[in-house]
Amino acid sequence: MPAAPVAIDADRLLADLHTLRSFGADGTGVRRQALSPADVAAREWLAERFTAAGLQASIDVFGTVHGRSPNPGPAILIGSHSDTQPLGGWLDGAYGVICALEVARALPGLAVDVVSWQDEEGTFDGFVGSRAFTGHDMTADLAQMEAGSRAAGWWGRPILRAEPGRYRACIEPHIEQGGRLEAGGQRLGVVTAIVGIHQHRVVFHGRRNHAGTTPMDLRDDAAMAMIRFVHDLDARFGTAAGPDSVWTVGRIDVEPGAASIIPDRADITVQYRDPDEAVLARMDEAFHAAVTAAPKRPDVAAMVYDVQPAQMDAAVQEALADACEATCPGGWRRMHSGAAHDAQLLAGLMPTGMLFVPSIGGVSHAADEDTAVADLALGCQAVATAVAGLLAGPV
Amino acid sequence: MPAAPVAIDADRLLADLHTLRSFGADGTGVRRQALSPADVAAREWLAERFTAAGLQASIDVFGTVHGRSPNPGPAILIGSHSDTQPLGGWLDGAYGVICALEVARALPGLAVDVVSWQDEEGTFDGFVGSRAFTGHDMTADLAQMEAGSRAAGWWGRPILRAEPGRYRACIEPHIEQGGRLEAGGQRLGVVTAIVGIHQHRVVFHGRRNHAGTTPMDLRDDAAMAMIRFVHDLDARFGTAAGPDSVWTVGRIDVEPGAASIIPDRADITVQYRDPDEAVLARMDEAFHAAVTAAPKRPDVAAMVYDVQPAQMDAAVQEALADACEATCPGGWRRMHSGAAHDAQLLAGLMPTGMLFVPSIGGVSHAADEDTAVADLALGCQAVATAVAGLLAGPV
């Protein structure tokens, strides 16, 4: 049975989104890396807006902004991040934060906490706010971010950690950052799982030599060894992967990089993602088989990045699905997230879900990232409706 | 019938080589790029040494140093270049210049001209001295090198061009810069041909996108397109090439070069060499077939570098072979040059030959480039013996 749609104030949502965009604006994009002056100013402004909405606002030592509802629990935590890529779009993260604020305002009688996590984008080590909140050791992060925190006037404040027993669920609204909703003509996406990410650095060593005087059979060419490895790996992944798998060799550095010199070093990054741990395990096998099969074995460091997939909570998915059907009948789908999100960490602590709105042209991490205004409002209404459903039901 | 070996002064040869090495010395290597202060000083010193050897020394507008024998012709022109790579070895080019000087001193009654060509290594457009001498249009080179020539005090001087009818032959002594003589246990190499070099710049364009949210079937990945192209090209070259062919992808630039971003540009250099024009033509065909077969066709600019192979003169080869057999019976071989040399341009103007001495470990264009002292002396003696043979024979 579809839930009754909750009314939200779309103009207020849009106005706040545009104000947040103004912090670090650069053309249609935004430069608001964690702890930059623009990020610090934006977070101070967010705290003011949370306070104005009747929430108890705080900013922690890293910069995570939390708005605690004074209403009696159980509570729902909603939010995302307000830091950006070096030059990011105006909605990545920001949409989830302002959407959360609007949901809290639209449901003034419920216990809706709002949050903007710090450094999701990895200006420092990434996912700083959500790692801290979910109980990770933050010693290294504190050391790395002390100077920025001091400059912001936040040094000495406590780390925001989750309040035990407070939350029934967490929801992160976000733009899709891909083109599947647009391609399918849907306006909302209920996330089923967030991909796991495995990433390796693979370095091939060769012998630098003259490209004219060194016969083919006496060469030790690091670049050709790399080319053959990636070609073989691509074929192996084609067999091992599932329908949702993606793999990317995004960084290739060849040295010395001159036309007439046989390269002595090729240094690449191999990354692969899948929402299913079993598929990731098959891809791990394919990767190591390719390394072993390489005529000259490359150096492979310990996995650089090893994030396990996160399944979204079934009950939260149901509440979001009901809300989607209530606000946009037949115009939504279930889908996995190919990008990492703070929700991945939250899912280890409490029932967590995500709602996607479409990205025009599938564009993200770029200045021309955008979403139709009507979809921004619809997504907010769906989240508010889901929250009302979750807090109305039995504990 | 082997020629009678001509005596040379090995100590004098070595002493001059070490003095030349001191201009721009950096550890065991040398920094003496064309028109650098070290190069200018070295060329002024060479002119003094040529004069001291009884030659009429001149330095032209670019810096090519010529020592003209006052003896009646026909003359033999011997030499190489004294400029180096940014950090080069002490013998690449330098050996041929000092070897030539010693041959002129060892044969004081013959018409032996000595030369150090300017900018063989391409600090400017490369092969400047030998291009000028062989009648090429030097307008662009003059413009590019005016400031350096003025600083050297050479601006306004004439360009050194070949004196019509003067030369019977040209010989360029040089280090091998490869490991074939060492591997075969030979101490001298008579060059049969200098490879032609074809070089292309190939640029793949894709669409920059998020490596997590863009499914494999919606990607336009410039790096993977490049990997597949090079892999296919390598296989095609394997079929089209001859036993002396070499091919190299020495430069690979991928943008933006981040682990989580699908690359939108991959820019590479494809270079191949062979001493036989027919083989180079087959490799051209293989290259263009690979470009045509690429699922997404890359941009290929007009050939960046297109040097035809140069055959060494049969009579000069015979004179060098006789001299090798006289000075090192059974310890020499015929071979092609995988590297380009000034002799390639001279071969278009007059009968030209080259003599190689071994490179220890095949190392060149590096600070630890070296040749056994006995081989340096032996090579000089062989060239002197060949010159005596060439000037004794009929015109």
- Taking a contact as any Cβ pair under 8 Å apart, which residues of chain B between 341 and 380 contact chain A? 362-366
What does the pLDDT average to over B343-372? 94
Give the SS3 label for residue A344.
Answer: helix
pLDDT band at B2 (very low <50, low <70, confident <90, very high): low
CB contacts, 8 Å: B216 with chain A: 241, 245-247
pLDDT in tens, A291-318: 999 998 999 987 777 888 999 999 999 9
Among A181, A209, A231, A248, pick the best mutation site for testing chain B contact (most B Cβ within 10 A).
Answer: A248
Does residue A236 sit at the B interface (CB-CB below 8 Å)? no
Q: Which residues of B touch A364 (CB under 8 A)?
A: 210, 213
If DSSP codes are grouped into helix, strand and coil, which group holds residue B244? coil
- pLDDT tens for residues B85-104? 888 999 999 999 999 999 99
- Asked if residue B80 lies in contact with residue B344, where contact means CB atoms within 8 angstroms, the answer is no
d(Cα A28, Cα A24) in Å, to the nearest integer? 11
Of the pLDDT bands very low, low, confident and very high (cuts 50, 70, 90), residue A394 is low
CA dihedral angle for residue B158, residue B163, residue B164, residue B167, rounded to 10 degrees: -150
Q: Quote the pLDDT of residue A130.
A: 97
| pLDDT tens digits along B278-303 | 999 999 999 999 999 999 899 998 77
Residues of A in contact with B208 (CB under 8 A): 366
Does residue B192 contact residue B311 with C-beta atoms inside 8 Å? yes
User: Please, what are the domains in chain B?
Assistant: 10-194+310-392 (3.40.630.10), 196-307 (3.30.70.360)
A67 pLDDT more than 50? yes
Give me the count of residues in chain A: 395
B303: buried, middle or exposed (CB in 10 Å: 19+, 13-18, 0-12)?
A: middle
CA distance B366 to B43: 22
A177 contacts chain B (CB < 8 A): yes
- What per-residue confidence (pLDDT) applies to A296? 87
* A-to-B residue pairs, Cβ atoms closer than 8 angstroms: 176
Give pLDDT, residue A393. 61
* pLDDT for B39 beyond 70: yes
Note if the pTM is more than 0.90: no
**Using CA atoms, how far apart are residues B142 and B138, in angstroms rounded to an integer?**
6
Residue A305 confidence (pLDDT): 77
Does residue A10 register a pLDDT over 50?
A: yes
What distance in Å separates the CA atoms of residue A151 and residue A124, rounded to the nearest whole number?
Answer: 16
In tens, the pLDDT along A341-383 reads 999 999 999 999 999 999 999 888 888 999 999 999 999 999 9
With a cut of 60, say whether residue A2 has pLDDT above it: no
Percent of chain A with pLDDT over 90: 90
From B319's Cα to the closest Cα of chain A, the distance in A is 24
Query: Residue A213: which of B178, B221, B257 has the nearest Cβ?
Result: B178
Whole-number pLDDT of residue B264: 94
Let me know: does B274 contact B197? Beta carbons within 8 Å.
no
pLDDT at B1 over 70: no
Compute and round to an integer the Cα radius of gyration of chain A. 23
Cis? peptide before B108, omega within 30° of 0: no
**CA of B276 vs chain A CAs: smallest distance (Å):** 14
pLDDT of residue A335: 97
Q: Please, which residues 106-135 of chain B have a Cβ atom closer than 8 Å to chain A?
A: none
B6 pLDDT band, cuts 50/70/90, is: very high
pLDDT-above-70 percentage for chain A: 99
The residue type of A203 is: V
Q: Kindly write down the DSSP assignment for every residue of A245-295, as one continuous string.
A: -EEEEEEEEEES--TTEE-SEEEEEEEEEES-HHHHHHHHHHHHHHHHHSS
Subunit contact A212:B254, Cβ cutoff 8 A: no
- Encode pLDDT of B235-279 as tens digits: 999 999 999 999 999 999 999 998 989 999 999 999 999 999 999
> What is the pLDDT at residue A301?
82
Q: What pLDDT is stored for residue B395 in this prediction?
A: 42
Cβ-proximal residues to A209 (8 Å cutoff; 6+ apart), any chain: A219, A220, A261, A262, B362, B363
Average pLDDT of chain B? 95
Using a CB–CB cutoff of 8 Å, tell me whether B181 touches chain A: no
User: What integer is the mean pLDDT of B319-330?
Assistant: 97
Q: What is the pLDDT of residue A302?
A: 75
Among chain B residues, the shortest Cα distance to A337 is held by B213
**What is the model's pLDDT at position B34?**
97
Interatomic CA distance for residues B105 and B148, integer angstroms: 31
Question: With bands split at pLDDT 50, 70 and 90, how would you rate the model's confidence at A395?
Answer: very low
User: Which runs of E-coded beta strand occur in B276-347?
Assistant: 299-300, 305-307, 310-311, 332-337
Q: Kindly report the CA angle at A157 between A153 and A158, in degrees rounded to 5?
A: 155
- Give the pLDDT band of residue B336 (cuts 50, 70, 90): very high
User: Mean pLDDT for chain A?
Assistant: 95
Q: Which H/E stretch holds residue B200?
A: strand B196-205
Q: Hey, which bits of chain A come out as E strands?
A: 25-26, 29-30, 56-59, 65-68, 75-81, 112-117, 167-175, 188-194, 196-205, 209-210, 246-255, 261-262, 265-274, 299-300, 305-307, 310-311, 332-337, 352-357
